Structure 1
Amino acid sequence: MHFDSSNLSREQQLSFYHSLVFPRLVEEKMLLLLRQGKISKWFSGIGQEAIAVGATLAMHTDEWILPLHRNLGVFTTRNMPLEKLLLQWQGQVPGYSKGRERSFHFGDRAHQICGMISHLGPQLGIADGIALAHKLRKDNRATLVFTGEGGTSEGDFHEALNIAAVWDLPVIFLIENNGYALSTPVSEQYRCASLVEKAAGYGIEGVQVDGNNLLEVYQTVRSARMYAASHNKPVLIEALTFRMRGHEEASGTKYVPPELLEAWAAKDPIAQYEAYLLEEGILSDERIHDIKHALKAQIEEAVAAGLQPHPAPVSTAQELSDIYAPAPAPHYPIGTSTEKRFIDAIAEGLRQSMEEFPLLILMGQDIAGYGGAFKITEGFLEQFGPERVRNTPLCESAIIGAALGLSIQGFKSMVEMQFADFVSCGFNQIVNNLAKIHYRWGQNADVVIRMPTGAGVGAGPFHSQSNEAWFTHVPGLKVVYPSNPEDAKGLLCAAIADPNPVLFFEHKALYRSISGLVPDEYYTTEIGKARLVQSGDDITIITYGSGVHWAMEYTASHQHLSICLLDLRTLLPLDYTAIQQAVAATGRVLVLHEDTLTGGLGAEISAWIGQHCFHLLDAPVIRCASLDTPVPFATELEKNFLAKARLDADIQQLMQW
């Protein structure tokens, strides 16, 4: 094995040895603690240390690294205190995630490390966003993100590399090819001769390295970092190595041929580097013994401190409060108001938010020169430029991941789904990355996803869904659904000002059919507050979006009924105070929504009313919703599908109690 020590002093090479040996010794101790039941799980990187250590040494300390669960060497080389890491691995509150995460599923801004989620691939898109922020700031930095050969089979791998190539982003994609995803060998994972061949398909540079050669990894990543940072170009590196233990310790290695383990044991990265340093006279057997003895003593000291119990009272209030980052106070409207259509109010709110927040980036399919499918961003490219108004490839998952990466770097972002239906392609990023990251390690996700939604325009099953209930079940998200132009602008501005992830639903059928007075200046409408549209004594209708207009039409044609109408506006978090007041006003409640009946938001609201407001009711809560079918295309079928077709019958049933 040849070691290229170009530009490295003897002192540096010796320091590298310390960095390489330390995680191995830590792992050996962790495996002992695992057998003693003092930690619950361990993902071993024994045999792969040269990749994590060499790559981390090659990056600048102010550059982000996105590691996996087998990259202990990243954490130790970034000098994260072992005592605190031990607390993390035990799930203790003083760890990096307050006991809410395990192993390496956490991040830490102070050490420029972004924690993974178990789905692996989604972190590649986050790296794109971090790198985009570097490019926008012109600060000549790169981002390093790890994946395994198994992760390259995920769609996120393709999406992230494609975006990095198209947008010329300074990202280093480092594949640790250790032969097995869990037990699936590479022969069942891909058919190309090597994964580095994939680079050519994206038009980017790619290189394969011996992942057990510390200096080869270091020199390669160092060169890739310089290239990526100076040219704003991505690089793909495939590091060949082998996992000497199971996927995690309980998995074992029975599926690995014994001769393969023997062959790779002979290529052990530490043994190979030791042999080189001995040959060069940089190390001696006595020095090796002394170094390892000192490191083991350091580890024992950290373990003794880290294994001390740190009891902390469980606080439900604290758990709930850490779901969201603090949101700014409302910015109340001032000055004049002008009649505007729903769609124009959204466009104005978005434009004024771009002026209010210079670090706000817009991303979406066809939103630049074309102005988006509904022309909401028409003219934005000319006003704000291509860096801030960005067309995206068809890759919802990686773009949402990139939005999170931008947030990590202090930017805001708005991602437009061409249709709300298409959000399913980015579902994992929303519910597992955006929603959970603040709770997991205090990193906010300053991302708004605009969702053109709803039926009534003859768009059929794949462009008409009301899928808001998919997300109201997910802690950490905010879900907003305005029904009128004033709220559309104010709530969109509030969503963008809010540092938390917000799904902003805007009904397509309302875009050009609804108008109203809208304040001309920038303002925000408080998220989480319902709006009492009108008071009434006979029945209460609780609804949102198009349901508000159905209810208003019904009220106008049935003036003998005194109807209390509550527009929720925000679906997560719900305004339970306003709901209770609306229930108390009449004692008869109908929950109306365009979404299908089963599992719709009406079920949650009805259940809450039944539990908390039963004493106020004079009749059962009635749900009025659309049919439990996909949205049909034909006009008459669509009319029959929508909840509006059953509104009168449901109100009559409610009044008969």
Structure 2
Amino acid sequence: MQFDRKDKDDAQLLALYKTLLYPRMVEEKMLILLRQGRIGKWFSGIGQEAIAVGSTLAMQSDEYILPMHRNLGVFTSRNIPLKKLMAQWQGKISGFTKGRDRSFHFGTQEYKIIGMISHLGPQMALADGIALADLIANKQHATLVFTGEGATSEGDFHEAINVASVWNLPVIFLIENNGYGLSTPINEQFNCKHLVDRAIGYGIEGIQLDGNNILEVYDKLSEIAASIRQNPRPVLIECLTFRMRGHEEASGTKYVPQHLFDEWTKKDPVKNFEDYLITQNILNDELIASIKSKFKTDIEQEVEAAFNEQEPIANPTTELDDMYAPYNQKVVAPTSAQTEKRYLDAITDGLREGMQRYDNLVIMGQDIAEYGGAFKITDGFVSQFGKARVRNTPICESAIVGAGLGLSINGYKAVVEMQFADFVTCGFNQIINNLAKTHYRWGEKADVVVRMPTGAGTGAGPFHSQSNEAWFTKTPGLKVVYPAFPYDAKGLLIAAIEDPNPVIYFEHKYLYRSLIGNVPDGYYTVEIGKANVLKQGEQLTIITYGLGVHWALEYLNTHPEISATLVDLVSLQPWDKEAVATAVKATGRVIILHEDTLSNGFGAELAAWIGEHCFTNLDAPVLRCTSLDTAIPMSKVLEDSFLAKHRLAQTVEKILAY
């Protein structure tokens, strides 16, 4: 291994050595603790320290790094106290996640480190969003994100690099090619000669480095980071290294041929750099022993101090509260005159008001810029707010939701448009495992609104008409709203933008141009979690939302002989339990009406809650009037038969017969 010190003085080289050695010694201590049964799991980065340490030292302290679970050197090089790290690994209350997540699955704004989730690839899109925030704010910053050679097979890898390339984002994508994804060797993971060659397909620079050479990693990453701060663009780095331990210690290494261990042992990054510094008369045996002795003492003290830290105390109220960033909505009442507007135009107004109020709000989606979106909701926004904040995206829902979270982490707000709610499946992981869980895991807000054009009635078939709100109402950490009228559509969207928590905003496509209502001009909000009682009656209660509200109104208006209470939930998570309980008690008969299918639709949760909390007020079973348990057909005849509206009259007759 050849080292080139360039212009570094002895003190700098010695500091590099200490920073490289420290995580190695911490790891060696962890392996001892594992054998003693004092810790239960460990993901070892022994043999790969030069990558984490060299790249981290190349970054400025206020620049974000997004590491993986074998990158202890990132955390120690950023000078996070070992006691704090150890408390995290042990699930102590003083750890970064308060015992809620494991190992390096956490972030910290103090040290500008954003840890991974177990799904490996999604953090690359977060790096895009972080870098985008810097780019818009004209900060000359770089962002560094790690991935392994195995995760390069995931779609998230492609999506994130493609977005960074198209948008010229200052991101360093660093692949640690350590030979194996758990037990799968690289020849069974990809068929290109070098992973760095993939840069060609994205039109970006690709550089391959000896990942075990601390000076090569540090110098090259310093050079690249300095360059992209001045000339923003992504760069792909492949660092060649080897995993000397198992994927985690329990998995072992029996699947690895011995000759690979023999070969890579000779390339040990710590030992080789140590030998080099001896030849440079910077190190000698006595100094090495002194450094190691001090590190050993410090590590022992920090580790034992962490073991003595307090365990979490289970408090269900605290746990529930921490799913969401603290926020008390202050409803802004309308003060301006009202104008008759279509449902679609109310959404446009809400977006415009949000963009005017928050100069750190970015909206992203397919075709939303000059074209104005598939439904023209953002028509004219580019000329008013500029392309930096109104961004056409490639077709990559996962990367864009992830970029929204990255924007939030770096001080921005984001609205992400799904062209159709059905397409959200391609971004499901980011919503369910990143947006929803981030605050609970490490206390960071996820200030992202996901707009969801939803629903049937237009003959669009199985892939453009689904009602999928129940996928999200059962996910803690998300808020879900579903306006039925133009007034609510505007006020709820502004409220969702205000809220620092992730909000899934459903908007019904059928209502876009078919529904008109009075909408106040200017800025106002609607309370998230508050239902509207549209009619008061005595015979039965209909609880519904979205297009179901209009089905119910149409039916009741044509049947004036029926005295019904009609509740429009407006918000599905949280939902208005008080309004529902009051309506149930008023009539004793309840129909839950929704466009979604029967089995496990949101109505099932409502019915269960009413049965549990309002049983003594019921004069009949709670009935659900829903769409069929099938995919949504295209034909109007079949679609009409599918929809819950087709069974509403029959359901009303049934409940009144009790």
Whether the TM-score (by the shorter chain) exceeds 0.5 is: yes
Deviation, 1:315, is 1.4
Give the drift of 1:415.
Answer: 0.5
1:59 and 2:62 aligned: no
- Partner of 1:207: helix, strand, or coil? strand
- Aligned partner letter, 1:356: R
Q: 2:341 aligns to what SS in structure 1? A: strand
* Letter paired with 2:637: E
Distance 1:23 1:32 in 2: 14
Query: Which stretch shifts more, 481-490 or 326-335?
Result: 326-335
3-state DSSP of counterpart to 2:249 = coil
Equivalent position of 1:133 in the other structure: 133
* 2:531 equivalent to 1:530: yes
Distance 1:283 1:447 in 2: 51
Please name the residue that 2:149 is paired with: 149
Cα shift at 1:256: 0.3
Aligned position for 2:220: 220
CA offsets per residue over residues 632-652 of structure 1, 9 Å max, x none?
Answer: 011111100100000011111
* 301-310 or 172-181, larger mean C-alpha shift: 301-310
Q: Does 1:326 align with 2:322?
A: no
In 2, the alpha carbon distance for the partners of 1:6 and 1:339 equals 71
Pairs within 5 Å for 1:496-645: 496-645=497-646
Which residue is 2:377 aligned to?
376
| Residue equivalent to 1:242 | 242
Residue aligning to 1:401: 402
Paired residues for 1:37-116 under 5 Å:
37-116=37-116
What is the distance in 2 between the residues matched to 1:7 and 1:424? 52
CA deviation profile, 1:403-423 (whole Å, cap 9, x unmatched): 000000110010100000000
Matches of 2:310 and 2:366 in 1, distance apart? 49
**Equivalence map 1:196-215=2 (5 Å):** 196-215=196-215
Runs of 4+ in structure 1 deviating by more than 4 angstroms, as ranges, are none
SS of equivalent residue, structure 1 residue 110: coil
Distance 2:79 2:491 in 1: 45
Once the 2 structures are TM-superposed, how far is the Cα of residue 371 of structure 1 from its aligned partner? 0.2
Match for residue 299 of structure 1?
Answer: 299
> How does 1:218-297 map onto structure 2 within 5 Å?
218-297=218-297
The residue type equivalent to 1:186 in the other structure is I
Render the CA deviation track for 1:529-587: whole Å, top value 9, x for unaligned: 11111111000000000000000001001111101000011111111111111111101
Instruction: Please say which of residues 528-537 and 308-317 is displaced more in the overlay.
Output: 308-317
Deviations 1:19-50 (A, max 9, x none): 00000100111111112222221000000000
CA offsets per residue over residues 242-265 of structure 1, 9 Å max, x none? 000000000000100011111111
> What SS is found at the alignment partner of 2:553?
helix
**Partner amino acid for 1:382?**
S
Q: What code does the residue aligned with 2:294 have?
A: A
Residue 190 of structure 2 corresponds to which residue in structure 1? 190
SS at match of 1:101: coil
Answer yes or no: is the 8 Å Cα contact 2:569–2:575 preserved in 1.
yes
| 1:425-436 alignment, distance < 5 Å | 425-436=426-437
Deviations 1:491-527 (A, max 9, x none): 0000001000001000000001111111111011111
Q: CA deviation at 1:18?
A: 0.5
Q: Tell me the residue number matched to 2:489.
A: 488
- The SS at the match of 1:339 is strand
1:218-254 CA-partner distances (Å, limit 9, x unpaired)? 0111111012211101000000000000000000001
User: Residue 19 of structure 1 aligns with which residue?
Assistant: 19
C-alpha separation in 2, matches of 1:385 and 1:22: 48
Q: Indicate yes or no: 2:117 matched with 1:117.
A: yes
CA RMSD, 1 decimal:
0.7
Residue 151 of structure 1 deviates from its aligned partner by 0.5
CA distance in structure 2 between the aligned counterparts of 1:9 and 1:571, rounded to whole angstroms: 62
After superposition, give the CA deviation of every residue in 1:317-367 in whole Å (9 maximum; x if it has no partner): 111111111233111211211111100100011101100000000100000
Which range moves more in the overlay, 644-653 or 6-15? 6-15
1:162-177 alignment runs, 5 A limit: 162-177=162-177
Q: Distance in 1 between matches of 2:515 and 2:87?
A: 56
2: CA distance between counterparts of 1:49 and 1:5? Answer: 18
2: CA distance, partners of 1:44 / 1:556:
68
- Shifted more, 133-142 versus 365-374: the winner is 133-142
CA distance in 1, matches of 2:380, 2:4: 54
Q: Given that residues 91 and 311 in structure 2 are in contact (C-alpha distance below 8 angstroms), is that contact kept between their aligned partners in structure 1?
A: no
Q: Distance in 1 between matches of 2:134 and 2:490?
A: 31
TM-score by length of 2: 0.99
Deviations 1:165-214 (A, max 9, x none): 00000000000000001111000000000000000110001100000000
2:441 aligns with: 440
2:351–2:494: 8 Å Cα contact kept in structure 1?
yes
Any idea what SS the aligned residue of 2:440 has? helix
Q: Distance in 2 between matches of 1:456 and 1:564?
A: 25
Q: Is 2:457 the counterpart of 1:456? A: yes
Structure 1 partner of 2:350: 349
2:336 and 2:522 in contact (8 A); partners too: yes
Contact 2:455 2:509 in 1 (8 A): yes
Paired residue for 2:390? 389
Q: Distance in 1 between matches of 2:8 and 2:333?
A: 60
**CA deviation string 1:79-131 (max 9, x = no partner):** 00101111110101111111101100001100000011000100000000000
Q: C-alpha separation between the residues in 2 aligned to 1:316 and 1:262? A: 52
Kindly provide the amino acid, as one letter, of the partner of residue 303 in structure 2.
V
Shift of 1:312: 4.3
Aligned counterparts of 1:614 and 1:237: Cα–Cα separation in 2: 62
* Equivalent residue, structure 1, for 2:480: 479
Aligned to 2:359: 358
DSSP 3-state at the match of 1:466: coil
Structure 1 letter corresponding to 2:452: M
SS in 2 for 1:505: strand
Instruction: Report the 3-state secondary structure (helix = DSSP H, G, I; strand = E; otherwise coil) of the residue aligned with 2:24.
Output: helix
Partners of 1:578 and 1:431 lie apart in 2 by 28
Shift of 1:4: 2.1
Paired residues, number = 657
2:99–2:312 Cα contact (<8 Å) kept: no
Q: Distance in 1 between matches of 2:304 and 2:385?
A: 56
Gap change, CA 1:27 and 1:357, over 3 Å in 2: same
Unaligned ranges ≥5, structure 2: none
Higher mean Cα deviation, 143-152 or 90-99? 90-99
Residues of 2 paired with 1:202 and 1:11: CA distance?
40
SS in 2 for 1:201: helix
Alignment check: 8 A CA contact 2:20 2:270 kept: yes
